[in-house]
Amino acid sequence: MATAPSFLFALLAVCTAISTAAGMATAPTNTTGFVSCLTVHIPPGIVYTQASDSYPSVLDFSIKNLRFVTPATPTPLVIIKATNASHVQAAVRCGVAHGVRVRPRSGGHDYEGLSYRSIDAACPFSVVDLAALRAIRVDVKRKSAWVDSGATLGELYYGIANKSARLGFPGGIGPTVGVGGHFSGGGFGLMMRKHGLAADHVVDAVVVDAEGRLLDRAGMGEDHFWAIRGGGGGSFGIVMSWKLQLVRVPATVTVFTVHRPRNRSASDLLTKWQHVAPALPRDVILRVVVQNQEAQFESLYLGRRTGIVTTMARMFPELGVTREDCIEMSWIESVLYFAFYGTGKPAALLLDRGTKPDRYFKAKSDFVHQPIPRHAWESTWSWFLKDGAGLLILDPYGGQMGGVAPSATPFPHRRALYNLQYYGFWWDNGTEASEQHMGWIRDLHQEMEPYVSKNPRGAYVNYRDLDLGVNDDYCSSGADNGYVKARAWGEPYFNANFERLTAVKAMVDPRDFFRNEQSIPPLR
Ligand code: FDA
């Protein structure tokens, strides 16, 4: 009895100290002071306030979703278009001193636009845009490369292929996706079954931390280095550049795309695909895009045509892939083939990062561990895919994806059969269209619940989804119960790794300076 009050007293003292620390998360917001501080440390030509003539074009440059191009979208107070690391360091230090949070933007592809918008207009923030920091230095002899975060995947693949036709990198498909956000969330693409995630091949990095220091792997320490390779962008500092271990690619790879309509055999094929695709040899990936009333099977094989034709005949004869379906090419041509659907496209297309968004979209994701029964595919086709409202993308795992421990990086979904992405898109402006299409994808996601991972139902952090939840009061100091709230999205994205991420966050950013609607809160 006698110990209880003193224990409580001690606990209270600790809590007070912690909440005081939390209360110091950022200084009171002083936007004028922030801008003055920037002008002392950063050349004025690269600081864009909302009053600058070029602000709209700088902001819009890498926005990829029309959903966030509206007059009502809360946008940054200031955009700093950094041209060297010292600008990023100064932005962080000025932000900490004057209570203005800084969000990094690399390629701007965040599905919820969190690299350039907030959901609360009362929440001033700034953006450090890294698009001008995109150097790529390839060391062919050591099979390694340093790439700056502002480079796109297309620029990276182009840069590697330019130096060696026998080296490649296992990242995502979209050529305009930024390296900074992509690696931060793991990053998977067509070579993942052979080589795993993009983040698995990061061997060093340089980051600007919450105190504005520039740290490499040795300087940041292994926990911090673990967290930036899949723990999601925007929580653990601003990664300036990444050192990559490149992979060997054969001189010739083979691709095919075959379409199978629903009224022929697509439901049967899809049902069987779930057993076959994760079990194929790791040199092959066979993904599926389901849209309208057909399934499109797309494959990359790291070898010659004869090999894939034989493998398909042996393991998936029902798909009916013929020699004529298969096209041999170099690895970089296969990158172009999947990015732009076709052959004979110039490699320089991979350098075009200025593509403008042409649609509104909303996406969600799941991980599937047990094959989904045929009747569920039939019903999805009948109810959800009948009028071109959206599509499904099925990316099979297995191979090297399953060969890495779920705790080796923050990305925990290594043992899934496949990732299932739901993608709804529309072209009409206005609330009615938006509500209809957002409703469509939410209903479809709900409908699939019985068939996908559970406790928690998984999701991929690089397919960010604010429906999972958002931080309370995310624009001010981190709330003391932030951890409990953040489990709603932290566990779906990171499973058991979520807790370690919050502990790392407490270590590297205890004041929660790098905070957005779905950032990792510090474990209090
Ligand atoms: P953006 O700049 O918007 O950043 C995303 C998040 O990371 C934000 O929170 C941002 O603040 C933070 N961030 C950005 N730069 C950072 C840095 N340097 N340091 C720390 N944090 C940083 N995924 C996949 O795995 N495989 C694929 O094939 C594809 N394909 C694809 C195609 C298309 C058209 C889109 C729109 C998206 C994909 N993706 C994908 C998803 C993609 O990997 C994901 O959206 C990435 O986070 C995008 O990175 P960006 O740098 O472009 O985004």
Greater confidence (223 vs 383) lies with: 223
Reply yes or no on whether the pLDDT at 333 is more than 70: yes
Mapped onto helix, strand or coil, the DSSP state of residue 103 is strand
What atom of ligand 1 comes closest to residue 152's alpha carbon? 52
Ligand 1 touching residue 188 (CB < 6 A): yes
The backbone torsions φ and ψ at residue 434, rounded to the nearest 5 degrees and listed phi first, read: -60, -45
Q: Roughly how many angstroms between the first and final C-alpha of the chain, as a whole number?
A: 27
3-state secondary structure of 363: strand
Q: Do residues 301 and 281 touch, judged by C-beta distance below 8 A?
A: no
Q: Which atom of ligand 1 is nearest to the CA of 186?
A: 25
The pLDDT of residue 480 is 61
What is the predicted pLDDT for the residue at 474?
65
> Separation of 323 CA from ligand 1 center, angstroms?
36
Q: How far is the CA of 437 from the centre of ligand 1 (A)?
A: 23
Structure confidence by residue, pLDDT tens digits, 478-516: 556 788 899 999 999 999 999 999 999 999 999 999 999
Ligand 1 geometric centre to CA of 199 (Å):
13
| CB of 510 shorter than 6 A to ligand 1 | no
Query: Distance of CA 439 to CAs 255, 313, 360, 362, 434, Å?
Result: 36, 41, 14, 10, 8
CA distance 1 to 405: 46
Best of 109, 157, 335 for a ligand 1 pocket test (most atoms within 8 Å of beta carbon): 109
**Beta strands of 15-77 (E only): which ranges?**
47-49
- 354 confidence band (pLDDT: 50, 70, 90): confident
**d(C-alpha 364, C-alpha 461), whole Å:** 10
pTM score:
0.94
* 230 within ligand 1 shell (Cβ under 6 A): no
Which pLDDT belongs to residue 389?
77
Q: How far is the CA of 40 from the centre of ligand 1 (A)?
A: 31
Question: In 467-523, which residue ranges form alpha helices assigned H by DSSP?
Answer: 482-494, 497-508
pLDDT tens sequence across 116-168: 999 988 889 999 999 999 999 999 999 999 999 999 999 999 999 999 999 99
Q: In this structure, how many other beta carbons lie within 10 angstroms of the beta carbon of residue 110?
A: 28
Q: Which of 58, 87, 105, 465 to mutate to test the pocket of ligand 1 (most atoms within 8 A of CB)?
A: 105
User: Does ligand 1 lie within 6 Å of residue 61's CB atom?
Assistant: no
Average pLDDT over residues 437-457: 97
Query: Residue 77 and residue 53: Cα distance in Å, rounded?
Result: 14
234 C-alpha to ligand 1 centroid (Å): 10
Q: 182 CA distance to ligand 1 centroid (A)? A: 4
The alpha carbon dihedral of 425, 431, 435, 436 has a sign of negative
Residue in 117, 130, 184 to alter for ligand 1 test, most ligand atoms within 8 A of Cβ:
184
Output the pLDDT for position 455.
96
Mean pLDDT of 281-288: 98
- Per-residue buried b or exposed e for 294-327, using 16+ beta carbons within 10 Å of the residue's own CB: bbbbbbbbbbebebbbebbeebbeebebeeebbe
Q: Which of 58, 60, 106 to mutate to test the pocket of ligand 1 (most atoms within 8 A of CB)?
A: 106
Distance 137 CA to ligand 1 centre (A): 21
Q: Is the pLDDT of residue 477 over 80?
A: no
Does ligand 1 lie within 6 Å of residue 171's CB atom? no
Q: Are 340 and 407 in contact (CB under 8 A)?
A: no
Tally the residues of the chain.
524
What is the Å distance from ligand 1's center to 519 Cα? 14
pLDDT digits (tens, 9 = 90+) for 3-40: 333 322 232 232 222 223 333 345 788 999 999 999 99
